[in-house]
């Protein structure tokens, strides 16, 4: 018999009472078949003898006879099912520790595929077939993933399946519990409570997933912060290596200069001594006794010894008066001190320059892309198309006198505003005799004459008459750059209340406004000033930062 026929005939071999394959099948007078034990016990519990299927009533207990044909068919079906089960068992896996075993298997218990909440049993693939292919009564049973301890799903008081949920006591109950212990409580089917709890779990899981995502973002944020920190450390190390290398080279250079100075003095002294010796050797033919002493003493580099022994030679009969002749050793006293002091001075200047360069490179990291805002520009100003250059033209344009526009002073603001953090920009001022640069509050007065000072919301420096530099600190502070700056750097730290101005090429700090109190947006401020007959016609140019100072 094929597997297909087994599946099709399985329904025919199931007792409708025990829902299992017939054991000693018997036939009732109405023609229906049951296990002999099942129908006997069924009739033992009833006064009237009814057929469980067709409900036909027998007023006397019928004599039951074994259905021999059906019994033989059932036996054949069992043999084939056993063979199929043995074959399937070899393919299926035995239940491992921790896995739910089949409750029907004998011998090696196979891994259960499903558990039935009605039968309160777990089944392997073979023994699960009746629930998948048998009568509608089995198909209606509730199958779930394999679970252990199915007895926990039975009410311990009433020996009934737990089918309801008591919302009052938050516990599972059977169908009889409401009659006795939960009469006034709110009860719902398990499925309904299951759906509600499942929805809550999904909501909880969604919240957990959000928390996980937030923590993943935090991890990413920490990693990015660490990367920024490591990058900053690498930059600082590189800066440190450069600074100390430069200082080391300065020291080595000064050491070479010192050694050369000493060697030059030595050579001068040696040359003088050699000249004297040459003259003396011509005169001491007859002074052989003392010649060796003179020669040894004149070649000595021990200054003290030479001076102490020289006087003992005065009694020698000279052919020439050498009394006033001396080998004058160069003065070495204080040479090291002078060299070290000069080195210290050079190092201070070098360190000051190097640290200024390091500081400038540090703040250049906060470069902002600044462009000019035409809506704020005085009508006489000419702005480039890219918003990076400005100069004063010869003719005022007819422009709307909007509140943002400067009406009298030839000024323009940067389009970008800043209300936190740090920012930096550079402006080329080469070729100009007059200019004003800095930052200003967004709310400053832009009409008529304006007084540029911190009290009025301006933090600026200016150049006048080609050589007069001032910080407009109210009162103004005269500045003295070592050379006329060609490019000016402007740095703002909003939270620290700091506005600093740098000579970019010299890497020198010109002036800093400190202790400022910023409470609103700041804008970069540019004033190219009047042309003065073409002498000041060069534009102010916003430059990209070149960090190769």
Distance, CA of 381 to CA of 409 (rounded, Å): 10
**pTM summary value:** 0.47
Structure token pair of residue 261: 């100075």
DSSP secondary structure string, 304-317?
Answer: HHHHHHHGGGTTS-
Distance, CA of 283 to CA of 293 (rounded, Å): 14
Q: How far is CA 110 from the centre of its chain?
A: 51
Q: Is 24 left (phi over 0), alpha (psi -120 to 50) or beta?
A: left
458-464: strand order across its sheet: 412-413, 522-527, 435-441, 458-464, 468-471, 477-479
Q: For residue 104, which of 174, 21, 167, 215 has the smallest C-alpha distance? A: 21
pLDDT tens sequence for the chain (549 residues)? 344 444 445 667 788 888 778 888 888 888 888 888 888 888 876 667 888 888 888 877 888 888 888 888 888 877 776 666 555 545 567 777 878 888 888 878 888 888 887 778 888 888 888 887 755 567 777 788 888 877 777 787 877 778 888 888 888 888 788 877 787 888 888 888 888 888 999 999 999 999 999 999 999 999 999 998 898 888 778 877 887 888 888 888 888 888 888 888 888 888 888 888 887 777 766 666 666 666 777 777 877 877 777 777 666 555 677 777 777 776 666 677 777 777 777 777 777 777 777 788 889 989 999 999 999 999 999 999 999 999 998 888 888 889 999 999 999 999 999 999 999 999 999 999 999 999 999 999 998 888 899 999 999 999 999 999 999 998 999 999 989 999 999 999 999 999 999 999 888 899 999 999 999 999 999 999 998 888 999 999 999 987 554
- Yes or no: say if 258 and 339 are a contact pair by the CB < 8 Å rule: yes
Q: Is 378 left (phi over 0), alpha (psi -120 to 50) or beta?
A: beta
Element of type H or E holding 387: none
Beta-bridge partners for 138? none
């Amino acid at each position: 018999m094929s597997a297909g026929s087994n599946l099709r005939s399985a329904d025919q071999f199931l007792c409708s009472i025990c829902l299992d394959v017939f054991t000693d099948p018997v036939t009732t007078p109405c023609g229906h078949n049951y296990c002999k034990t099942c129908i006997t016990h069924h009739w033992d519990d009833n006064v009237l003898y009814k057929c469980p299927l067709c409900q036909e009533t027998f007023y006397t207990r019928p004599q039951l006879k074994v259905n021999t044909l059906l019994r033989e068919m059932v036996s054949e079906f069992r043999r084939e099912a056993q063979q199929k089960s043995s074959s399937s068992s070899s393919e299926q896996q035995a239940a491992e520790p921790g896995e739910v075993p089949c409750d029907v298997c004998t011998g090696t218990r196979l891994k259960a595929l499903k558990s039935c909440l009605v039968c309160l049993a777990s089944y392997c693939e073979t023994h699960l077939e009746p629930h998948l292919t048998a009568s509608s009564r089995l198909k209606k049973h509730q199958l779930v993933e394999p679970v252990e301890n199915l007895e926990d799903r039975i009410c311990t008081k009433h020996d009934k399946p737990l089918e309801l949920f008591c919302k009052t006591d938050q516990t599972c109950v059977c169908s009889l519990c409401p009659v006795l212990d939960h009469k006034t409580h709110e009860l719902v089917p398990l499925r309904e409570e299951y759906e509600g709890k499942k929805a809550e779990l999904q909501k909880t899981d969604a919240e957990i997933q959000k928390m996980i995502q937030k923590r993943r973002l935090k991890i990413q944020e920490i990693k990015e912060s660490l990367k920024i920190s490591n990058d900053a450390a690498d930059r600082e190390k590189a800066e440190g290596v450069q600074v100390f290398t430069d200082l080391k080279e300065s020291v080595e250079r000064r050491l070479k200069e010192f050694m050369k100075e000493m060697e030059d003095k030595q050579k001068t002294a040696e040359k003088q001594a050699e000249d004297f010796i040459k003259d003396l050797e011509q005169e001491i033919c007859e002074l052989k006794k003392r010649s060796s002493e003179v020669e040894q003493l004149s070649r000595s580099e021990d200054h003290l010894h030479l001076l102490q022994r020289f006087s003992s030679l005065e009694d020698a009969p000279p052919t020439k008066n050498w009394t006033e002749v001396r080998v004058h050793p160069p003065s070495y006293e204080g040479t090291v001190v002078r060299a070290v002091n000069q080195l210290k001075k050079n190092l201070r200047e070098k360190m000051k320059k190097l640290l200024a360069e390091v500081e400038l490179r540090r703040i250049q990291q906060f470069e902002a892309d600044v462009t000019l805002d035409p809506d704020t520009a005085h009508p006489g100003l000419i702005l480039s198309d890219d918003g990076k250059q400005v100069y004063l033209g010869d003719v005022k344009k007819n422009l709307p006198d909007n509140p943002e526009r400067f009406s009298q002073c030839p000024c323009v603001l940067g389009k970008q505003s800043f209300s936190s953090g740090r920012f930096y920009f550079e402006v080329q001022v080469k070729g100009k005799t007059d200019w004003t640069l800095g930052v200003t509050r967004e709310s400053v007065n832009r009409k008529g004459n304006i007084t540029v000072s911190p009290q009025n919301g301006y933090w600026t420096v200016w150049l006048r008459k080609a050589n007069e530099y001032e910080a407009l600190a109210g009162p103004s502070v005269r500045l003295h750059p070592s050379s006329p700056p060609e490019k000016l750097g402007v740095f703002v730290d909003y939270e620290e209340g700091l506005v600093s101005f740098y000579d970019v090429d010299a890497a020198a700090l010109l002036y800093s406004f400190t202790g400022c109190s910023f409470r609103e947006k700041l804008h970069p401020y540019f004033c190219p000033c009047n042309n003065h007959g073409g002498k000041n016609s060069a534009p102010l140019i916003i430059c990209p930062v070149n960090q190769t100072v």
